């Protein structure tokens, strides 16, 4: 999903990501033998949200069982994100000035909407970017978690949902899941 599209219903003049599912936007390296037909769009819905100002992997399905497996209340399917951050006026080498105890809070100890969050894996990918692995998906969760510890999110990209990775899929393009891919 590129920036500027919403994952669900159209809102505030922004189109839903499902409008990108066209033959023209199908990834030319998609190895699926399935032929695209516009009838496949009927009932197609996102499995979870990806904020309008976030990019990355968005799974669309017509199967409620798949959606429940990914985003249901009992789901243990993890989602992985790369999150570019700033800290105060620092936008380079953020890692060197960000307190370790605040990183520990991101991993476990924060609450949103008076609800404790499940533990998360949070580690530095590079001095300006964190890697988050979550098993829940509250509204704007990563951005709100970061705000609670003084970080500002300047870029957020989902790169994996369970065993399905974004890989080299270009922004704004789509592909069918392969038979061996599982959440």
Token code pair at residue 27: 């990834």
Which residues neighbour 140 within 8 Å (Cβ) at sequence distance 6 or greater?
A: 51
Residue (of 57, 67, 53, 66) closest to 6 by Cα position: 53
Residue 132 or residue 179, greater confidence: 132
CA dist., res. 19 & res. 60, Å (int): 11
Distance CA 164, CA 159 (A): 9
Q: pLDDT: is 13 or 89 the higher one?
A: 89
List pLDDT tens digits, range 11-43: 888 999 999 999 999 999 999 999 999 999 999
The mean pLDDT of the chain is 95
Q: What are the backbone angles phi and psi of residue 17, rounded to the nearest 5°?
A: -60, -25
CATH annotation of 79-161: 3.30.70.1560
For the annotated catalytic residues, the residue numbers are 51
Q: pTM to 2 decimals?
A: 0.94
Domain ranges, ordered by start, for the chain:
79-161
Task: Assess whether pLDDT exceeds 90 at residue 167.
Answer: yes
Rounded Cα gap, residues 112 and 105, in angstroms: 13
Question: Does 9 or 114 have the greater pLDDT score?
Answer: 114
């Amino acid at each position: 999903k590129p920036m500027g599209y919403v994952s669900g219903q159209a809102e505030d003049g922004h189109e839903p990501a499902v409008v990108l599912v066209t033959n023209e936007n199908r990834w030319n390296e998609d190895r699926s033998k399935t032929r695209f037909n516009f009838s496949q769009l009927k009932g197609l819905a996102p499995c979870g949200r990806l904020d309008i100002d976030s990019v990355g992997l968005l799974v669309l399905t017509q199967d409620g069982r798949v959606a429940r497996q990914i985003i249901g209340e009992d789901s243990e399917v993890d989602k992985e994100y790369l999150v570019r951050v700033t800290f105060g006026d620092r936008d380079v080498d953020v890692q060197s000035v960000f307190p370790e105890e605040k990183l520990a809070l991101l991993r476990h100890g924060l609450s949103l909407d008076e609800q404790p969050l499940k533990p998360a894996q949070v580690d530095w990918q590079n001095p300006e970017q964190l890697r988050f692995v979550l098993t829940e998906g509250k509204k704007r969760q990563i951005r709100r978690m970061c705000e609670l510890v003084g970080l500002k999110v300047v870029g957020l990209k989902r790169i994996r949902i369970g065993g399905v990775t974004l890989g080299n899929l270009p922004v704004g393009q789509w592909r069918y899941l392969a038979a061996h891919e599982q959440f």
